[in-house]
Structure 1
Amino acid sequence: MTIQTSRSCLRIHPTDNVVVALQDIPKGDCITTDGLSVRVTQSVAAKHKVALEALTIGDPVRMYGVLVGKATQPIAAGDTITTFNLRHEAEPYGLTRRRPYSWHAPDVSDWETLTFAGYHRSDGSVGTRNFWLVVPLVFCENRNVEMMKAAFERELGYAQPDTYVDQVRQLVQAYRTGQTGPAPAAAIPEAARPRLFPNIDGIQFLTHEQGCGGTNADADSLCQLLAGCIVNPNVAGVTVLSLGCQKSQIDQLRAEIRKRQPGFDRPLLYFDQQTYGTESAMLTDAIRDTFNGLVAANAQTRQPAPLSRLSVGLKCGGSDGFSGISANPALGHLSDLLVTLGGTTLLAEFPELCGVEQELIDRCANPTDADRFVGLMQQYAAQAAAVGAGFDMNPSVGNIRDGLITDAIKSAGAARKGGYAPIAGVLDYTDLPTRPGLHLLCTPGNDVLATTGMAASGATLILFTTGLGTPTGNPIAPTVKIATNTRLADRMPDIIDFDAGLVISGQETIEQTGERLLRWLIDLASGHIRTKAEDLGQNDFIPWQRGVNL
């Protein structure tokens, strides 16, 4: 799709009865699309929707060719769609409504011989990074994880610059000497210490608030999540700290690792504080053995791998009214290219698939997967309803402010990250794909719960679109922030990696943007470039306890 730069609005699908404002439209201006012409009745902010026809109470509103809401009061042609005149509504879905599905795979002849430089593991998977993990089996060990972090990062060259520490030091000095005037800006940090191990991309120190005090199911879920992270191809080895008496036990963790990878042969170092007695005795051994593990892991080097070895998570957060027409469909085209090449992509956020369920059911190659998707969606919706919530509560204040009025509007745009390829599998949280292709992964819409689950399900890279801006990163899978609009990319260059706003300005098609992103991604996967989140040390990690989280 190419957007003409002269156009002020976009009708996404021929059956839609609303259009998206591509720019601010003054009251009284006439908008024209597909032979229809209406005069706007009030000023319309960019990203918001305008009715193309008069609607009465209960009439459907359609976007992306699907039902996204119903009018709660009369809406005149040219009126802006708002939370005051529209409520969430979505089409019913089910296996009995399943329809035949076919698609035309994109031409990948230009991509078939391309490779990235990755870390090859014994099971045939290939990592885009070579990380060492330090993880606690229980929250009681968080302090010891932090102690190891303090001991390792600076000495090995992985510490973040002390920019703000230097700024506070200057403020303290000014206070002590009685100086007045404007506060000093953040200081230019000292040059980072060179890395001792050039083939180790980082030591990632994870903490969490689980492992004991919850149910046995909570302990099982934590071990499943940690096991998924440990077998991720981006991980060279792991140090596990345990108190000893907690519910999450090392035997559970080892069993979950074997389920996912029976021949797992990467280092798994385990230290139990109650066995050692003193903290210092345990940490002395943990630090020594971890250092020796890093020496061995540093011997691994990047080697060429086909693009079919990539496993990419597809996520959106801080979405806006442009997400579904620029960045998300660009990811969809990239996903179609990758799965045609034999790669794997993961489309998550089940609360943000509300309203497009039937299309996804139709696209499941295996009826068993269609049935599993229906079951997971209905179970999730029932759990939300049991506590007085629902998928209709998913849009945030920022989403609504920027044009995502209902969950169905948000979901129809979010689902475009999955392109048009058939669905090869449906996964529950932390499940691993067993075949290449596009997979649906059950996660909440919550950014960090979703990205944490993607890493545990094998994603070696995460593509994260945003229209409002978010610093979200992941300690295991480098997370690429893709702006839906150029204004955001220009305003927040410290967290945005890639600008998809050229689709909105008409300078690129969706396909051109997706292919430009894929070329950039090959460099990222090869370690030639890093994400902004990696540079900032933004390593967000929060396990989902399977409570209701939209």
Structure 2
Amino acid sequence: MQKKLIKVHPTDNVAVALVNLKAGDVIAFEGQDIKVISDVKAKHKIAMNDFGAGDRIMMYGVLVGKASEAIAKGDVLTTENVKHQSAKVTQKTDTIGWSVPNVDKWKDKTFMGYHREDGQVGTANVWLFFPLVFCENRNIELLKDIFEKELLTQKSNSHRMLLRSLVNEDNGTTAVEPEQTTNVFDNIEVKFITHPGGCGGIRQDSESLARLLAGYVKNPNVAGATVLSLGCQNLQIDIFNKALEAISPNNKKPVLMYEQQQMGTVDEMLTAIIKNSFEAIKEANNIQRQPAPLSKLKVGLECGGSDGFSGISANPTLGYTSDMLVALGGTAILAEFPELCGVEQELVNRCVEEDKANKFLSLMQAFEKSVVDAGSGFDMNPSPGNIKDGLITDAMKSAGAAKKGGTSPVVDVLDYGEYVTNPGLNLLCTPGNDVESTTAMVGSGANIVLFTTGLGTPTGNPITPVIKVSSNSELAAKMSDIIDVDTGDVIKGEKTIEEMAETMLQYIVDVASGTIKSKASILNQDDFIPWKRGVSL
């Protein structure tokens, strides 16, 4: 029989409903009978004792809120009776030890990756087109249309065929033969990025964008790039080149640069781009997958469309997977700083160096100040979907989100646009926005991204495979076209976190080797949103 309640940490004074509960139900739990006061939907929280106004709400062993009014034992927690509250952190107070997981069976495992001259190994082989400024977006779109039609396999598109039949006035009843093309290259992908930046705003925005784009060229999944510039914009070619030089001093990857104001007509520029890029893509197609140790994996950890089960099943699965990867000499990246609010003390105490702890606190405080100065706050972070499914305060959401980072030491703290250089767990300053955060982790070197969701989020990335992990089996069944791995068996009590992590790590190896394609990659979900360093929660 499935359990009805779960308490995540021994010191918690609330429990999570694993199934829908009815008012009047009496549940035997931890040696006491809990009478349910009002209906409680699965994923929501129930009081384990009576609370008075102002009493502290504890979950995951940390402060996640305070009672704004009296709450009876057995009643449900809501946005009406609980408000956000988190512990204040000023410095490192302890050093937290780490119980290293046993990874003996994985030590000699390899994945089939693309070895780069700088020692990194890619899980994909991508030729990337992107502009330095939004004025070139149209030309990027023209090139995308040209290259995709001539180089890439065109799958049958049932929706396009449906529309075609409707245009032919047969109400979709006549079968239309799909168009077929051949795949010219079998060992290289061609991807395209557009964005709204590079000019206007403040100069720092362009410099930040330059670092991000340089990180995409540096990323081991990229074989080379074609870069378009207008000529007069803030993000000048030399600014981009300096950003690339800073993170990749001996860059050997081909980077083809084109400046429209120096080249004449669009036709003349596109002709040159197509000829030169085709030759470079043809050369990049010769790069073959070779075995690589798992220590070459750099995994970004992301969550989006979270629910009340995310912090119990999917996120802890990623956390244990992260710990296994770190134990193998690999790299994990935990981002989304607004969703670390409330767990700062643990993360600070896990920092191996004092200056890293101070940098983390400084970045968190500056981020939060910018949000407050704009008239908002981290307490506004939970989305309507989060709240509907049980995440009613930012600290509650954060405590579950932080589980993605496991328990390993924090070896480095990076600001947005900085590139990962140290194996182990890295903290990266990004907003909690799914696409902005995923975009940033890839720009910092992630060659795989693990993305947990409880509600269903289709986010992907142009150059890095994004593996979707559902917190519950209902979502995995309903949105099977976007979910790769289902951790719902943890909620049902059929698998442990450790067992799910073993499954997760093998899936990562398969995707990294190209034997399995992530659902986001199949859907060509190529999302890219730079963080304009204003307010973005």
TM-score by length of 2: 0.98
- Match of 1:379? 366
Q: What does residue 204 of structure 2 align with?
A: 217
Look up the match of 1:69. Answer: 65
Q: Could you say which residue in structure 2 is the equivalent of 1:28? A: 24
Cα pair distance change 1:19/1:342, threshold 3 Å: same
> Structure 1: how far apart are the matches of 2:173 and 2:428?
44
* 1:173 alignment counterpart: 168
* In 2, Cα distance between equivalents of 1:486 and 1:6: 14
Deviation string 1:135-189 (CA, Å, 9 cap, x unpaired) is: 0011010000010011111211255643322221111112xxxx5xxx5499888
Indicate which of 68, 85, 98 corresponds to 1:103.
Answer: 98
Residue 103 of structure 2 aligns with an amino acid whose one-letter code is V
Report the Cα distance in structure 1 between the residues aligned to 2:253 and 2:272, rounded to whole angstroms. 19
Of 261, 265, 276, which residue of structure 2 is paired with 1:274? 261
Report how far residue 17 of structure 1 moved.
0.7
**Residue 264 (1) aligns with residue 251 (2):** yes
Does residue 404 (structure 1) correspond to residue 391 (structure 2)? The answer is yes
The match for 1:193 is 181
DSSP-derived class of the 1:328 partner:
helix
Deviation at 1:434, TM superposition (A): 2.0
2:106 counterpart letter in structure 1: W
* 2:311 matches 1:324: yes
Q: Is the 8 A contact 1:36 1:52 kept in 2?
A: no
Q: Could you say what secondary structure the match of 1:502 adopts?
A: helix
Contact 1:162-1:189 at 8 Å conserved across structures: no
Query: Which of residues 40, 50, 74 in structure 2 aligns to 1:44?
Result: 40
Residues 96-495 of structure 1 aligned to structure 2 (within 5 Å): 98-159=93-154, 161-174=156-169, 184=172, 190=178, 193-200=181-188, 202-495=189-482
Per the alignment, residue 8 of structure 1 pairs with 4
- Of residues 184-193 and 262-271 in structure 1, the stretch that sits farther from structure 2 once superposed is 184-193
CA gap of 1:322–1:361, structure 2 versus 1, over 3 A, is: same
Deviation by residue 1:510-536 (Cα, 9 ceiling, x = unmatched): 110011011011010001111111111
3-state secondary structure, aligned to 1:323: coil
Corresponding position of 1:79: 75
Q: Displacement of 1:391 after TM fit?
A: 0.5
Whole-angstrom CA distance in 2 between matches of 1:490 and 1:191: 31
Q: Deviations over 1:361-389 (max 9, x none)?
A: 00001111000000000000000010111
Find the aligned partners of 1:80 and 1:192 in 2 and give their Cα distance.
56
Count of residue pairs brought into register by the alignment: 537
Q: Judge conservation of contact 1:212–1:247 (CA < 8 Å) in 2.
A: yes
Q: CA 1:348/1:237 → structure 2, altered by over 3 Å: closer, same or farther?
A: same
CA contact (8 A) 1:157 1:192 kept: no
247-256 or 408-417, which deviates more: 247-256
How many angstroms does 1:78 deviate by? 0.5
2:165–2:174 contact (8 Å) kept in structure 1: no
- Check 1:191–1:478 CA distance in 2 against 1; reply closer, same or farther (3 A cut): farther
Please report how far the alpha carbon of residue 33 of structure 1 lies from its aligned counterpart in structure 2 after TM superposition.
Answer: 2.5
Instruction: Specify the alignment match of 1:521 in structure 2.
Output: 508
Q: Secondary structure of 2:506's match?
A: helix
Shift in alpha-carbon separation, 1:187–1:312, aligned structure 2, 3 A: farther
Q: Aligned with 1:153: secondary structure? A: helix
- Indicate the SS of the match to 1:110: helix
Classify the secondary structure of the residue corresponding to 1:32. strand
Report sequence identity in percent.
Answer: 53
Instruction: Please give the secondary structure, in 2, of the residue aligned with 1:166.
Output: helix
Equivalent residue letter for 1:465: T
- Please list every run of 5 or more consecutive structure 1 residues that lacks an aligned counterpart in the other structure: none
Amino acid at match of 1:197: F
Amino acid at match of 2:187: N
Q: Which residue of 2 aligns with 1:94?
A: 90
Whether contact under 8 Å (1:141, 1:241) holds in the other structure is yes
8 Å CA contact retained: 2:133, 2:229: yes
Q: How far, CA to CA, are the matches of 2:159 and 2:262 in structure 1?
A: 39
Q: Distance in 1 between matches of 2:526 and 2:105?
A: 34
* Aligned equivalents of 2:104, 2:5: Cα separation in 1: 35
Matched, 1:59 2:55: yes
**Paired letter, 1:130:** N
| C-alpha distance in 1 between matches for 2:298 and 2:83 | 37
Q: Is the 8 A contact 1:135 1:241 kept in 2?
A: yes
> What's the CA shift string for 1:408-441, capped at 9, x where partnerless?
1100000000000000100111211221000111
Relative to structure 1, is the Cα distance of residues 192 and 111 closer, same or farther in structure 2, using a 3 angstrom cutoff? farther
Report the counterpart of residue 506 of structure 1 in structure 2. Answer: 493
The answer (yes or no) to whether the contact 2:317–2:498 under 8 Å persists in 1 is: yes
C-alpha contact 1:364 1:425 (8 A) present in aligned 2: yes
Q: Using the alignment, how far apart are the partners of 1:358 and 1:160 within structure 2?
A: 50
- Pairwise CA distance, 1:193: 3.0
Residue identity matched to 2:323: D
TM-superposed deviation, 1:37: 2.3
Q: Deviation of residue 355 (structure 1)?
A: 0.5
Equivalent pair of 2:2/2:492 in contact (CA under 8 Å): no
Displacement of 1:222 after TM fit?
A: 1.1
Structure 1 residues 154 and 161: CA distance shift in structure 2, 3 A:
farther
Letter in 2 for 1:137: L
Q: Relative to structure 2, which stretch is displaced further, 186-195 or 340-349?
A: 186-195
Say which SS state the counterpart of residue 148 (structure 1) adopts: helix
Name the CA distance, whole Å, in 2 between partners of 1:134 and 1:186.
38
Report SS of the residue matched to 1:432: coil
Which blocks of at least 5 consecutive residues in structure 2 are unaligned? none
Instruction: Say if 1:313 and 1:463, in contact at 8 Å, map to a contact too.
Output: yes
CA distance in 1, matches of 2:535, 2:86: 20
Q: Please tell me the residue identity of whatever aligns with 2:338.
A: P
Question: Separation in 2 of the partners of 1:442 and 1:24?
Answer: 37
- The structural deviation recorded for 1:103 is 1.2
How far did 1:190 drift? 3.2
